[in-house]
Amino acid sequence: MAPTQTDIPDSDRFTVVIVGGGAAGLTVAARLRRARPNLSIAVIDPATTHAYQPGWTLVGAGVMALKDTLRQEGGLIPKGVRWLRAAVRSFTPENNLVTLADGRQIGYRRLVVCPGLQLDWGRIDGLTETLGRNGVCSNYARDTVEYTWSCIQSLKGGTALFTQPPMPIKCAGAPQKIAYLASDHWRREGVLSRMKVEFDVAGDALFGVKYFVPPLQDAIDYYGIDLHLRHNLVAVDGPKRVATFAVTAPDGSSSTVTRAFDMLHVTPPQSAPDFIKSSPLVNEAGWLDVDAATLRHARFETVFGLGDVIGTSNAKTAAAARAQAPVVVDNLLASLDGRPLAAAYDGYGACPLTVSYGRVVLAEFLYGGVPAPSFHYDQRKPSRFAWILKTRVFPQLYWNMMLTGRDVHLPHRPIRDA
């Protein structure tokens, strides 16, 4: 017989349980505490270190130190919120229960699911054996991001490959950001003319929002980067320094090609965490099944979701989680009060695309790829202002405002006819 709330002690029952202590989870916890200080809230997350992952592009380009992107998780949990340092095994949403890896069961009145996504390194043959050596690097992992900068600095000529897997992935602009910064470094060092730089993209477009493609294509052309669309990395031979790509032709036929490299920056395939994929909470694609506007679960009214794990069409960025958090908090409290869910998420996401050291294309957009700038200038133009936002303002906003629940939002202005 399935367990119920009455089978567990009072100490393991909470008004709100949040699965995930990353950007989304901590922001929701902090906002809930500010809105209703007396709520009993628990955050479930086994990690002891919290990372500001948007900074890892800058770490890989030698602009930011890795230590400046990391903080102790325990120091970020809002006061009055219980931290359950454990992994989740399963969900029983019909009984409002979460089962931890050790078998302990946690009860809730409302559940917020935001554990992020997982990096599927093993889906690329040979990658795990060579990642972090043989010139194979990635800004997507804490353990390898510093090696990216080592590879960029040491390369004085040869072939550098940068890859992007099929969508969805988190921070979809990151795979090309590092290609531009690396090329700019080599240009400044006077060795770019001795380099062959390739950007191999599994999809059929340089960027998912057409409005911002022209300045990115300008960067591709400026650095002389060879852009290969419909090229998906499937295997790596590190010692031989050979990468294998599955190539899809316009007629749908497929073939494989190999590329020799001196440096290979890999963006791994990504998916929802396994404990989410095996749960009753997912949609057919394996992502958390939530309403795209209210962010409440499509089938279980006591469950909400946000961040990288949800199966909505917005970009998976920290900016998206920042915009989703107040919607989840407002609607969760409304559901507790028996009120209609009035808050709606419009799909807002943002991607500061570093096209050089000191210049950024600030892409902001809504569902459907509708551009939605926050500032009164043409954000397609690479700017020093956006570089300052990316390198100085956004990290402080993240640590001191977003995660503390004191965030404020500039109004964005949708450009419907773009």
The catalytic residue positions are: 171, 351
Amino acid at 390: K
DSSP structural state of residue 297: B
CB 413 within 8 A of CB 366: no
29 φ, ψ (degrees, to nearest 5): -60, -45
CA 169, CA 347: separation in Å to the nearest integer? 16
207 φ, ψ (degrees, to nearest 5): -150, 145
Describe the chain by its helix, strand, coil percentages, rounded to 5. 35, 30, 40
Q: Which parts of 228-283 fold into alpha helices (H)?
A: 274-277
Which residue spans within 20-157 are E strands per DSSP? 41-44, 49-51, 70-72, 81-84, 88-92, 97-100, 105-113, 118-119, 136-137
Q: What is the CA radius of gyration of the chain?
A: 22
Bridge partners of 107, per DSSP, are: 13, 97
